[in-house]
Structures are given as structure tokens and as C-alpha cells.
Copies of this chain bind each other. A is one copy, B any other.
Amino acid sequence: MSRWAPDARERLETAALDLFVENGYAETTVAQIADRAGLNRATFFRHFADKREVLFGGEDRLAGLLADAIRAASPDATLTECLLAAFAAAEAAMTPQQRAKAAQRVLVVAANTEVQERGLLKHARIAGSIGAALRARGADELTARLGAEVGMLAFTIAVERWMEADDDEPFSLHAAAALSDLQRRTAELDSRSRLSA
């Protein structure tokens, strides 16, 4: 296999996930990942800053997709419409191939605190991108932060459902449903409603 394959990045991600699941995250070295992908260590570090990044390399692209979609939404779009536009744009990163990887990634992340921490940093940065995009549209500080948090919660729930689903329903439909489910529960946040109905 050529060491200059244009799909090097994806091959490294696939090799890493396979090895992490087979042998454990801590037990796997960058050299082993590169070897499994038919590439060398230097190539690995051209694509990823460290071993943890290979698990979350797609998150930076995702943050860009979500934020760009919010910025591009119609000027009179509601907060909900902005989030739905973001979820629709995320579809490009949520392919069936990514879906298989997502399930492996959950296993790896659950088993390792160091990896969890990096995942949370990526999550916080995506929320930050969404918040910044909402602020750029004129949302006030608290609305932007609330929108980003609720949007990310909908996104997280949608990823869980998407991974567990038996059918091939596209990610954006799961995301829209999760947001709608959360919206129905915001009434619970009203100070008068009883928690246990």
C-alpha cells in the first residue's frame, strides 16, 4: 500500500479504532496504528497532534459545519430553525461509515478517562462554535449559551439514537426529533410545573 495514499487520514482513524477496541487504548502505540494503516509514524503526526486526536479528528470539521449553517440561515430564522439547519449540515459528517465508527468510539471513550476528557473538550468547543454563530446573528449572550447547550444535548441524544437504531434513518431526522423532544420538556423548567406529573 502506498505511504502517500490520499485516504491516509481515514485509514489511520479506522486502524486506531480497531486497535483500541482489540487491545485497549493505553496499550496501543502510534507506531502500531500507523503500521496497521500501512503508513508510518511521521504520517500519523502530519494528520493528528497526538494519539487522542485520532478519535476526535472529525469534531473540528463538525464544529465548522454546524456554525457555518447557523450563519447561513435566513435572517429571520428562529432559534429552532437555526439548530435544524445546523443538524442538516451535520449530515455530511454523519455517514453510515461514521456510524459504525461511532459505536467503536463509545466503547473506547467509556474505558478511558484521558480520552473522555479530550472528548469533553471537543464537545465544549463545538458548543462554543454554535454559541458564537448564534451571537453573530444577534442572539443575546444567555440565549446563545442556552441555545448552544440545548442544541448540543439534542445532538448527543441524536447520536445515541442514531447508533442504536435498526434502520438507516438519516442523522438529521434523529437530531430534529431529539430537539423536539427536549422542547416539549422545557415547559418543566417553568417554575410552576410539578416535576413528577
Contacts and interface: CB of A to CB of B under 8 A. Distances in A.
A185 B121 contact: no
**What is the oligomeric copy number?**
2
Interface residues of A, number: 45
A93 interface: no
Main secondary structure of the interface of A (DSSP, over half): helix
Interface string A167-183: 00000000000001111
Interface string A98-125: 0000000000000001001110110110
Interface stretch (A4-12, A16-24, A61-69, A149-157): A149-157
A180 B190 CA distance: 9
Given A120-B121, A150-B146, A150-B149, A191 B183 contact: yes
A139 interface: yes
A80 interface: yes
Given A150-B149, A153-B149, A185-B143, A191 B120 contact: no
Given A80-B189, A143-B195, A186-B190, 17 more contacts: A76-B196, A78-B193, A78-B195, A79-B189, A81-B191, A116-B121, A117-B117, A120-B120, A120-B123, A120-B124, A134-B195, A139-B196, A142-B182, A145-B153, A149-B149, A149-B153, A186-B186
